[in-house]
Amino acid sequence: TVLVVDFGAQYAQLIARRVREARVYSEIVPHSMPVAEMLAKNPKAIILSGGPSSVYADGAPAVERELFEAGVPVFGICYGFQAMALAMGGTVAHTGLREYGRTPMRVSQPGSTLFEGVPGGPSVWMSHGDSVSEAPEGFTVTADTDGAPVAAFECDERRLYGVQYHPEVLHSEHGQQVLEHFLYRGAGLAPSWTTSNVVEESVEAVRARVGSKKVICALSGGVDSAVAAALVQKAVGSQLTCVFVDHGLLRKGEAEQVEKDFVAATGVQLKVVDAQERFLTALAGVADPEQKRKIIGREFIRVFEQASREVVEEAGATGEPVEFLVQGTLYPDVVESGGGTGTANIKSHHNVGGLPEDMQFQLVEPLRRLFKDEVRMVGLELGLPPEIVWRQPFPGPGLGIRIVGEVTRERLELLREADAIARAELSAAGLDRDIWQCPVVLLADVRSVGVQGDGRTYGHPVVLRPVSSEDAMTADWSRVPYDVLAKISTRITNEVADVNRVVLDVTSKPPGTIEWE
Ligand code: XMP
């Protein structure tokens, strides 16, 4: 394990992901964890993340020197770099020079452990106030910038390395290479953490936990619950029963994907509950987004409770109680809910799959250690169809929060058609991997005048909201080529009755959220 010590910036998760992209297993720990406890985890290497802008900032946490003297290779990044400098006897100075954003850097030691093969002047992503002005004794300065006389240093003898910039962000040229140099050359690690190992270990862990008991799982149609269920199925086979609540707010073809493709790929026992009527009735007359979310969440839980009671009763008749519930919790959820750090809770979790607290099940969370991209890899390894594995994130409340206004059967039909066209054209243009997700929103309470054929129309606009993102916390609107947008617009206005206008949302997040409601 490589420990990534989180100093409270959002970069720690990114670093952990990059380490895993180098096929080395990593885990995030909070900086408040005592050094002895970190060392007790037997880390093969430790990476100190960025954090406050300076070691002299208010409340900036210090790093105990013993961390650097345990013989474990350490890589200090940004704040972690300054903390290492200070702990080892270097100097961090108030230079008054700040560097933020893209910065040209001079590599002065091109043959060093970190910079071997990196061209002399990469541009790197900086974010610091104070700077290291003198490296600790025994350390070689390997790079500098205009604002940072010591932009990187290393001490091979003690296996301590550091950089002032952020190699983990994509804007830093050769960032991944530098990180890999630390892991492979500095710490002597091998790239051995592979998807097939992950599957094997997870299957073993589920078997050990569940034994011969029965397990239940709510499938949402999304990637996470599908992969979690497929893993558990691989581990304990027919001890698992999946429940799929069709609330009628899914996109075109998605219910079929779960009922046919998923079952075909995994052989899982599936109980489908058709609750479309019930959800429509509960949503009748409701236009307020929060209200809609609450209703959908509440109904989902009721339907799932009823279905799970039936599963439990059937199992009870055979004398094998259902004791476990599968959840598709991912590593970022674990870290953000305090499992990893004191970082502010940025996004509250609102999964419709989030189940009632009074249910008497123990949780099985086979994806707790994985990031989203790793979950997809595991899904592919388990043989799930690409349509499921590469599905865009889709909110639990589904199309219910993509109709601005009351949700009705007719409006759902319209939106489903428009959404299917947008998805098909984006896929055909090969844009699936560039776009994080593209909500299509029906402005049901807005009408616009149009002319189609020879007549005036008075229909509704739909909004295209293509965004690019790495984690949905921030996002930018995607620059979809005009000809693709034109095709989508033409097809939607021609093929979807009552929609006479297609508009494009060009707002980043923040300030706009990804969904409209
Ligand atoms: P926002 O709209 O907050 O969305 O920028 C961020 C990400 O979360 C998804 N989302 C939801 N997912 N239940 C969910 O399970 C919800 O109520 C919900 N609201 C938004 C959204 O699709 C995006 O990926």
Please, what sign has the CA dihedral across residues 75, 77, 80, 83?
positive
What is residue 124's three-state secondary structure? Answer: strand
Q: Are strands 455-464 and 499-504 parallel, antiparallel or unpaired?
A: parallel
Query: Is the pLDDT assigned to residue 342 strictly greater than 70?
Result: no
Give bridge partners of residue 476 from the DSSP assignment.
468
Query: Is the pLDDT assigned to residue 446 strictly greater than 80?
Result: yes
Rounded CA-CA distance 277/264 in Å is: 27
* Ligand 1 centroid from CA 497, angstroms: 28
Give the domains, in start order, of the chain with CATH numbers: 2-186 (3.40.50.880), 195-389 (3.40.50.620), 402-504 (3.30.300.10)
- Enumerate residues 6+ apart whose C-beta is below 8 A from 241: 214, 215, 216, 217, 269, 270, 271, 311, 315, 322
What ipTM was reported for this prediction? 0.98
Query: Is the pLDDT assigned to residue 351 strictly greater than 60?
Result: no
Q: Give the DSSP per-residue string, 49-88.
A: ---SS-TTSTTPPP--GGGGGSS--EEEETHHHHHHHHHT
C-alpha count within 13 angstroms, C-beta hemisphere, residue 418: 34
Query: Is the pLDDT assigned to residue 88 strictly greater than 80?
Result: yes
Q: Give the DSSP per-residue string, 154-189.
A: EETTTTEEEESS-TTSTTSTTHHHHHHIIIIIIS--
Nearest to 160 by CA among 65, 94, 92, 93: 65
Query: Is the pLDDT assigned to residue 341 strictly greater than 60?
Result: no
User: Which member of 21, 31, 78, 417 is catalytic?
Assistant: 78
The mean pLDDT of the chain is 92
In our burial notation (b when 16+ CB lie closer than 10 A, e otherwise), range 118-150 reads beeebbbbbbbbbbbebbbeebebbbbbebbbb
pTM of the predicted protein model = 0.86
pLDDT band at 471 (very low <50, low <70, confident <90, very high): confident
* Ligand 1 centroid from CA 127, angstroms: 29
C-alpha count within 13 angstroms, C-beta hemisphere, residue 219: 30
Would residue 168 show up in a list of annotated catalytic residues for this protein? yes
What is residue 287's three-state secondary structure? Answer: coil
- Stated as kind and residue range, the H or E segment containing 440 is strand 440-442
Query: Is the pLDDT assigned to residue 70 strictly greater than 50?
Result: yes
pLDDT band at 428 (very low <50, low <70, confident <90, very high): very high
pLDDT band at 359 (very low <50, low <70, confident <90, very high): low
The per-residue pLDDT for 406 is 98
Helix boundaries (H) for 220-360: 223-236, 254-256, 263-266, 276-283, 289-317, 331-334
Query: Is the pLDDT assigned to residue 343 strictly greater than 50?
Result: no
pLDDT band at 336 (very low <50, low <70, confident <90, very high): confident
pLDDT band at 338 (very low <50, low <70, confident <90, very high): low
Q: Are strands 74-77 and 99-104 parallel, antiparallel or unpaired?
A: unpaired
**Atom nearest to 350 CA in ligand 1:** 13
Q: Is there a binding annotation on residue 220?
A: yes
Choosing from 295, 350, 391 the residue with most ligand 1 atoms within 8 A of its CB, the one to mutate for a pocket test is 350
Q: Whose CA is nearest to atom 19 of ligand 1?
A: 395
Q: What percent of the chain has pLDDT over 70?
A: 96
Whether residue 34 is preceded by a cis peptide bond, meaning omega within 30 degrees of 0, is no
Q: Hey, what are 174's tokens? A: 């050769």
**Per-residue pLDDT tens over the stretch 134-159:** 999 999 999 999 999 999 999 999 99
Rounded CA-CA distance 270/230 in Å is: 12
Taking CA atoms, 491 is separated from 299, 418, 427, 449, in Å, by: 35, 9, 15, 18
User: Are the C-beta atoms of residues 355 and 218 closer than 8 Å to each other?
Assistant: yes
Taking CA atoms, 12 is separated from 79, 411, 469, 508, in Å, by: 12, 43, 17, 23
Pocket of ligand 1 (CB under 6 A): 293, 350-352, 393, 395-397, 437, 472, 509, 513-515
What is residue 280's three-state secondary structure? Answer: helix
User: Which member of 166, 174, 181, 460 is catalytic?
Assistant: 166
Average pLDDT, stretch 195-201?
95
Average pLDDT, stretch 210-216?
94
Average pLDDT, stretch 476-489?
98
Which amino acid would we find at residue 1? T
Average pLDDT, stretch 456-477?
93
User: Are the C-beta atoms of residues 337 and 348 closer than 8 Å to each other?
Assistant: no
User: Are the C-beta atoms of residues 105 and 165 closer than 8 Å to each other?
Assistant: yes
Q: Is there a binding annotation on residue 224?
A: yes
Choosing from 336, 401, 514 the residue with most ligand 1 atoms within 8 A of its CB, the one to mutate for a pocket test is 514
Query: Is the pLDDT assigned to residue 54 strictly greater than 90?
Result: no
- Residue 234: left (phi > 0), alpha (psi -120 to 50), or beta? alpha
User: Are the C-beta atoms of residues 312 and 430 closer than 8 Å to each other?
Assistant: no
